[in-house]
């Protein structure tokens, strides 16, 4: 049994594709959560490229969280997973990871990939509990305070047996 709380079973959760019309609400959450948030242009480019972008909403239509993932050949790359601050620590990120995993499996993907700030211990623990393993480091990947940059930990989740094996 997980020590993390789960979303209230009585809470009606909906999910749907993100659209350009959602970006004001998405950006309001983004700037609350990150020192270096994605720009409107980052989201517009992702939507225009056809990336998987989904919202998690409560029964009133209020934004709980969202994710953006880039499909690849036999893999999906999670680019952004965010939960509104007042909704954090209630299992929403874990639920969205599960939804992304389902979508990737539906596509026939073999692996999920992501980068996470080295300093983001909570996110790294969440991903590890979800079965992701550390696969490497991208040096100076993220912007940080001043002119400094922060390393990213690359993590992967094998979705099907043999996903790490060489091609036959």
Band of residue 165 on the pLDDT scale cut at 50, 70, 90: low
| CA 121 – CA 123 distance, rounded (Å) | 6
Cα–Cα separations (whole angstroms), residue 152 to 39, 69, 93: 20, 17, 19
pLDDT by residue (tens digit) across 43-102? 999 999 999 999 999 999 999 999 999 999 999 999 999 999 999 999 999 999 999 999
Task: Check: CB of residue 153 under 8 Å from CB of residue 132.
Answer: no
Statement: residue 168 has pLDDT above 50: no
Extract the tokens encoding 7: 């979303």
Catalytic entry in 67, 115, 121, 150: 115
Print burial letters for 64-98: b (CB count within 10 Å at least 16), e (below 16).
bbbbbbbbeeebbbbbbbbbbeebeebbbbbbbbe
Evaluate whether the domain defined by 14-158 bears CATH number 3.40.1080.20. no
Query: ∠ at Cα 39 (154, 63), nearest 5°?
Result: 85
Catalytic entry in 51, 66, 127, 142: 127
Q: Is 51 a catalytic residue?
A: no
- Please name every residue paired with 113 in a beta bridge, in sequence order, or none if there are none: 77, 156
Looking at residue 85, the DSSP 8-state letter turns out to be G
pLDDT by residue (tens digit) across 96-138? 999 999 999 999 999 999 999 999 999 999 999 999 999 999 9
The predicted model scores a pTM of: 0.88
Looking at residue 72, the DSSP 8-state letter turns out to be -
Q: Is 106 a catalytic residue?
A: no
Task: Check: CB of residue 56 under 8 Å from CB of residue 13.
Answer: yes
Domain ranges of the chain: 14-158
């Amino acid at each position: 049994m997980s020590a993390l709380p789960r979303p209230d079973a009585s809470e009606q959760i909906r999910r749907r594709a993100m659209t350009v019309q959602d970006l004001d609400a998405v950006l309001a959450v983004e700037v609350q959560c990150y020192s270096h948030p994605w720009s409107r242009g980052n989201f517009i480019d992702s939507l225009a490229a056809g990336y998987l972008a989904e919202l998690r909403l409560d029964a009133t239509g209020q934004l709980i969280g969202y994710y953006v993932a880039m499909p690849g050949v036999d893999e999906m790359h999670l680019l952004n997973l965010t939960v509104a601050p007042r909704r954090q620590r209630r299992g929403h990120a874990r639920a969205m990871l599960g939804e992304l995993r389902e979508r990737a499996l539906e596509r026939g993907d073999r692996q999920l990939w992501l980068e996470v700030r080295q300093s983001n211990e909570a996110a790294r623990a969440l991903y590890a509990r979800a079965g992701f393993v550390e696969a490497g480091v991208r040096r100076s990947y993220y912007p940080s305070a001043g002119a400094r940059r922060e390393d990213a930990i690359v993590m992967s989740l094998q979705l099907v047996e043999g996903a790490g094996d060489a091609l036959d």
